[in-house]
Amino acid sequence: MVNFYTNIIQMAQSMQLYIYNIGASITILLVGLVIGLLVKKISYKIIGEIGLNQLAPKRIKKYNLQRNVSNIISYVIYLITIIIFLDRIGIGYRWIPYFLGGVLLLLIFFSLIVWLKDAIPSFVAGVSIKKIVRPGDKIKVQNISGKIIKIGYFETVIKTEDETLYFVNSLLKKSLN
């Protein structure tokens, strides 16, 4: 009979420890997510004050570097939080490389899909633009007029009186029609 009560007490202590670990793990996850959001907002403001978008080369200005860099910083914090969470609930370091590999593969897959969404129309438009105009031709796109310097597969370079502009071929093709 004493063994029975001892087993029940041990089982209750194990359950108490297990529930404590789950609660602590969920708390770690929530705190990490909040920290990630706060760091994202703070880094967005700091990067905005630095003027990273203005310091970037012209070809990169179409990307919002302020937003993208602050997102990457918050994603790193989220990843560290998830690793700590997984370790806390008992999924040890042995599984972390598999988890990170899966996350990396998903990131590559979705990046490839986003790139293809923009690249395929620009490539097709680049091929058709080469049939319509040639480098050296004068062109007017909306309210911008200039001379075509280079027609690439994904973008066309146009030199105006003041500056050199880069147009994505899919948008330029719409303007030429």
Task: Tell me what pLDDT residue 24 has.
Answer: 87
- With respect to residue 156, please indicate whether it lies within any of the assigned structural domains: no
- Tell me the angle at which helices 2-50 and 65-88 cross, rounded to the nearest 10 degrees: 170
- With respect to residue 132, please indicate whether it lies within any of the assigned structural domains: no
Beta strands 164-168 and 155-159: pairing type? antiparallel
Whether 154 has a pLDDT exceeding 80, the answer reads: yes
Count: domains in the chain:
1
Q: Which residues pair with 91 in a beta bridge?
A: none
- pLDDT tens, residue by residue, 3-62: 777 777 788 777 887 788 888 889 999 999 999 999 999 999 988 888 766 666 666 556
- With respect to residue 166, please indicate whether it lies within any of the assigned structural domains: no
- With respect to residue 161, please indicate whether it lies within any of the assigned structural domains: no
**Tokens 């007490």, located at residue:** 9
The SS3 of residue 94 is coil
- With respect to residue 136, please indicate whether it lies within any of the assigned structural domains: no
Neighbours of 16 (CB within 10 A): 10
- With respect to residue 84, please indicate whether it lies within any of the assigned structural domains: yes
Q: Report the predicted TM-score, pTM, of the whole model to 2 decimal places.
A: 0.51
Neighbours of 126 (CB within 10 A): 20
Task: Tell me what pLDDT residue 38 has.
Answer: 95
CB 138 within 8 A of CB 157: no
- With respect to residue 143, please indicate whether it lies within any of the assigned structural domains: no
What domain range is 31 assigned to? 1-94
- pLDDT tens, residue by residue, 75-115: 999 988 988 888 887 776 777 778 778 888 998 998 888 88
- With respect to residue 30, please indicate whether it lies within any of the assigned structural domains: yes
Task: Tell me what pLDDT residue 84 has.
Answer: 84
In the chain, the amino acid numbered 102 is G
State which H helix or E strand residue 82 sits in: helix 65-88
CA gap 132, 101 in Å, rounded? 46
